[in-house]
């Protein structure tokens, strides 16, 4: 009897493991795999398929494969390391973090250190004082807890004070939304402003691919305006008007204008008068001004300085009732380069109370940004002051990083301009050069034969020959018929001569191979 029961149980168990094919599948293949065909590229959101992000695109994927090969097969390639010049990720290329910022972060993340006598020998007095100040505004002094969805109020107070000190005009902490870097803030604004493909956003070309990707994901239309390469990537109001009128003639409601200052990937710094023209254009045309200002600390020329659009609008006498303005800042760039900490904020002004409630609602869906990033954002906007114990060492670190970036930018600019068929505008700011490639027709034909854009073809050949990773200009947008690459200035200074040497040798061989 027991054996009979056991055999019956086995039969029932086997039956329970077999899919009821008559009800769940219509083919033998589907019967074998019930999940087959549930999710394919044909059934996912088409907006995801439309979205592209060249900075981490095909070239970078290939570079990662090569890096693995270098580890598995030393000596297999004509280079011994991959040099990632594709993305503004300073610390990955050897830039050290700022001591004061990291001291404060360490103390905030482990408050018991503040009670130890050894701490005063290991940490500066102002870092200890700042850590206490920050912990006192964090509920429960818990850096591992959720915060207010806009960010910790005391940290927003500090950021607002830093903005006011920078601009000479007051800032309201209730206008600050702390985010995990600037990118989520950009996505939030695109989500807010985009209702359908009939809503358009004016974006510079070349542009940082975050904007085209975000617009695509939210179902809007990118309205391009072209920067003038012949005038150092100038932003002309006549071009804005032309593209705005063209979009409106096609039935597109243009909602906002994106301005990246200093420019990415182009490195230009806007003149104050040009900024005033841009503000008046937005006011007259009823556009939201989206000001990407994440490179505000990266200025490398003596005749230019950074002015925030908030400062410009207020100096023109415009207030909250006159123009909607959203300013983006990040801890990932500047001299601090804390990309992995994911800190940033947007300052939102000129929106009525009802719209602000909706922005807060969207922020609330994400609960809050990470607390380390929030702390860093407050430190970036309030670094040590004259008289603080850390001030001299902090200033030395900051100036060393920025002056080295300026030298690297000049060395790479000169190198690109020395190459046959290549011209490169000066990097006035940011972290990139965007040289133009005038490629031989044979190279363009060879690229076409492998279904690649000519600049992508060049970038792939450069990577395979030298291990240097750059991003094709076609990933950023460019005037049709022109070709570029974006190259960061971030490799450490002692590696720049070798990069230049590799670049020159490759380019000479490439031009010789495809000489018309």
Contacts of the segment 268-273: beta carbons below 8 A, 24+ positions apart: 268/227, 268/232, 268/233, 268/234, 268/425, 268/428, 268/429, 269/299, 269/301, 269/304, 269/305, 269/306, 269/428, 269/429, 270/235, 270/307, 271/304, 272/307, 272/312
Predicted confidence (pLDDT) per residue in 416-439, tens digit? 999 999 999 999 999 999 999 999
In this prediction, residues 356-378 reach a mean pLDDT of 90
Residue 91 is assigned to a structural domain of this protein:
no
For residue 1, what is the DSSP state?
Answer: -
Query: In this predicted structure, what is the pLDDT of residue 29?
Result: 45
Residue 210 confidence (pLDDT) above 90:
no
Query: In this predicted structure, what is the pLDDT of residue 140?
Result: 85
Quickly count helices (H) and strands (E) in the chain.
20, 14
Residue 31 confidence (pLDDT) above 90:
no
Range with the poorest average pLDDT among 13-22, 72-81, 262-271, 333-342: 13-22
Residue 325 is assigned to a structural domain of this protein:
yes
Same domain for 215 and 241? Answer: yes
Predicted confidence (pLDDT) per residue in 286-304, tens digit? 999 999 999 999 999 989 9
Residue 390 is assigned to a structural domain of this protein:
no
Same domain for 457 and 354? Answer: no
Beta bridge partners of 326: 290, 348
Predicted confidence (pLDDT) per residue in 232-267, tens digit? 999 999 999 999 999 999 999 999 999 999 999 999
Distance (Å, whole) CA 49 – CA 160: 39
Domain that holds residue 292: 146-380
Same domain for 428 and 482? Answer: yes
Query: In this predicted model, which residue has the larger pLDDT, 62 or 326?
Result: 326
Confidence band, pLDDT 50/70/90 cuts, at residue 94: confident
Same domain for 268 and 413? Answer: no
Query: In this predicted model, which residue has the larger pLDDT, 483 or 92?
Result: 483
How many domains are there within the chain?
3
HSE value, Cβ hemisphere, 13 Å, CA-based, for 426: 13
Residue 268 is assigned to a structural domain of this protein:
yes
Residue 15 confidence (pLDDT) above 90:
no
Same domain for 429 and 506? Answer: yes
Query: Whole-model pTM?
Result: 0.86
Distance (Å, whole) CA 145 – CA 165: 30
Confidence band, pLDDT 50/70/90 cuts, at residue 47: confident
Could you say which of 380, 410, 440 is where a domain stops?
380
Same domain for 327 and 348? Answer: yes
Range with the poorest average pLDDT among 13-27, 36-50, 146-160, 495-509: 13-27
Residue 452 is assigned to a structural domain of this protein:
yes
Predicted confidence (pLDDT) per residue in 170-200, tens digit? 999 999 999 998 899 999 999 999 999 999 9
In this prediction, residues 358-385 reach a mean pLDDT of 91
| Element holding 513 (H helix, E strand) | helix 496-513
Same domain for 401 and 352? Answer: no
Contact 288, 326 (CB under 8 A): yes
Query: In this predicted structure, what is the pLDDT of residue 19?
Result: 44
Q: Report the SS3 class of residue 397.
A: helix
Distance (Å, whole) CA 394 – CA 389: 9
Peptide bond into 76 cis (omega under 30): no
Same domain for 455 and 371? Answer: no
C-alpha to C-alpha distances, 39 to 34, 36, 44, nearest whole angstrom: 12, 8, 7
Query: In this predicted structure, what is the pLDDT of residue 54?
Result: 57
For residue 488, what is the DSSP state?
Answer: E
Could you say which of 333, 352, 380 is where a domain stops?
380
Residue 1 confidence (pLDDT) above 90:
no
483-488 and 436-437 strand pairing:
antiparallel
Predicted confidence (pLDDT) per residue in 446-485, tens digit? 999 999 999 999 999 999 999 999 999 988 889 899 999 9
Residue 189 is assigned to a structural domain of this protein:
yes
Per-chain mean pLDDT for the chain: 88
Predicted confidence (pLDDT) per residue in 116-127, tens digit? 988 888 999 999
Contact 263, 233 (CB under 8 A): yes
Query: In this predicted structure, what is the pLDDT of residue 240?
Result: 96
Residue 258 is assigned to a structural domain of this protein:
yes
Residue 143 confidence (pLDDT) above 90:
no
Residue 166 confidence (pLDDT) above 80:
yes
Same domain for 286 and 349? Answer: yes
Distance (Å, whole) CA 374 – CA 169: 23
Same domain for 273 and 340? Answer: yes
Residue 388 confidence (pLDDT) above 90:
yes
Distance (Å, whole) CA 230 – CA 80: 38
Same domain for 507 and 407? Answer: yes
Query: In this predicted structure, what is the pLDDT of residue 213?
Result: 87
Query: In this predicted structure, what is the pLDDT of residue 60?
Result: 84
Query: In this predicted model, which residue has the larger pLDDT, 26 or 352?
Result: 352
Q: Which of 2-6, 85-89, 271-275 is the most confident on average? A: 271-275
| Element holding 382 (H helix, E strand) | none
Which string of DSSP letters, residue by residue, matches 12-79? Answer: HHHHHHS--HHHH-SSHHHHH-TTTTSS-TTTS-HHHHH---GGGSHHHHHHHHHHHHHHHSTTSSS-
Confidence band, pLDDT 50/70/90 cuts, at residue 70: confident
Instruction: Assign residue 502 the CATH number of its domain.
Output: 3.90.1150.10
Confidence band, pLDDT 50/70/90 cuts, at residue 52: low
Residue 89 is assigned to a structural domain of this protein:
no
Residue 138 confidence (pLDDT) above 80:
yes
Could you say which of 350, 380, 410 is where a domain stops?
380
Confidence band, pLDDT 50/70/90 cuts, at residue 328: very high
Same domain for 366 and 420? Answer: no
Query: In this predicted structure, what is the pLDDT of residue 34?
Result: 59
């Amino acid at each position: 009897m027991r054996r009979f029961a056991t055999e019956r149980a086995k039969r029932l168990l086997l039956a329970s493991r077999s899919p009821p094919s008559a009800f769940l599948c219509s083919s033998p293949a589907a019967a074998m795999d019930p999940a087959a065909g549930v999710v394919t590229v044909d059934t996912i959101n088409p907006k995801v398929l439309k979205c592209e992000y060249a900075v981490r695109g095909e070239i970078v994927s290939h570079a990662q494969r090569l890096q693995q090969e270098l580890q598995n097969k030393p000596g297999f390639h004509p280079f011994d390391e991959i040099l990632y010049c594709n993305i503004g990720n300073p610390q990955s290329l050897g830039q050290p973090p700022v001591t004061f910022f990291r001291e404060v972060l360490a103390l905030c993340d482990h408050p018991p250190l503040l009670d130890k006598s050894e701490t005063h020998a290991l940490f500066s007095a102002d870092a200890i004082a700042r850590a206490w100040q920050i912990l006192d505004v964090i509920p429960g002094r818990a850096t591992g807890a959720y915060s207010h969805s806009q960010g910790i109020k005391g940290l927003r107070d500090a950021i607002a004070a830093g903005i006011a000190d920078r601009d000479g005009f007051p800032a309201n902490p209730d206008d600050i939304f702390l985010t995990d870097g600037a990118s989520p803030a950009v996505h939030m604004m695109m989500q807010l402003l985009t209702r359908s493909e009939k809503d358009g956003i004016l974006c510079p070309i070349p542009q940082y691919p975050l904007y085209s990707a975000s617009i695509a994901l939210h179902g809007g239309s990118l309205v391009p305006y072209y920067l003038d390469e012949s005038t150092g990537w100038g932003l002309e109001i006549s071009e804005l008007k032309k593209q705005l009128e063209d979009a409106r003639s096609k039935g597109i409601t243009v909602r906002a204008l994106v301005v990246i200052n200093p420019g990415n990937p182009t490195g230009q710094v806007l003149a104050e008068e040009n900024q005033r023209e841009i503000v008046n254009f937005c006011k007259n045309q009823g556009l939201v001004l989206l000001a990407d200002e994440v490179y505000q600390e990266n200025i490398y020329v003596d005749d230019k300085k950074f002015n925030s659009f908030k400062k410009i609008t207020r100096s023109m006498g415009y207030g909250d009732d006159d123009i909607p303005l959203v300013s983006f800042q990040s801890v990932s760039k500047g001299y601090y380069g804390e990309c992995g900490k994911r800190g940033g904020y947007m300052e939102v002004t000129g929106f009525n109370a009802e719209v602000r409630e909706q922005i807060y609602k969207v922020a609330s869906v994400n609960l809050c940004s990470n607390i380390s990033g929030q702390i860093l954002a407050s430190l970036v906007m309030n670094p040590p002051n004259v008289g603080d114990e850390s001030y001299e060492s902090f200033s030395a670190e900051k100036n060393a990083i920025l002056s080295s970036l300026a030298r690297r930018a000049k060395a790479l600019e000169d190198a690109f301009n020395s190459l046959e068929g290549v011209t490169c505008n000066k990097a006035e700011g940011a972290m990139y050069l965007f040289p133009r490639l005038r490629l031989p027709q044979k190279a363009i034909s060879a690229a076409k034969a492998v279904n690649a854009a000519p600049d992508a073809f060049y970038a792939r050949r450069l990577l395979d020959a030298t291990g240097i990773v750059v991003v094709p200009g076609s990933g950023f947008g460019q005037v049709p018929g022109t070709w570029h690459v974006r190259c960061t200035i971030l490799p450490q200074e002692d590696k720049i001569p070798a990069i230049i040497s590799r670049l020159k040798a490759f380019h000479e061989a490439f031009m010789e191979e495809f000489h018309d």
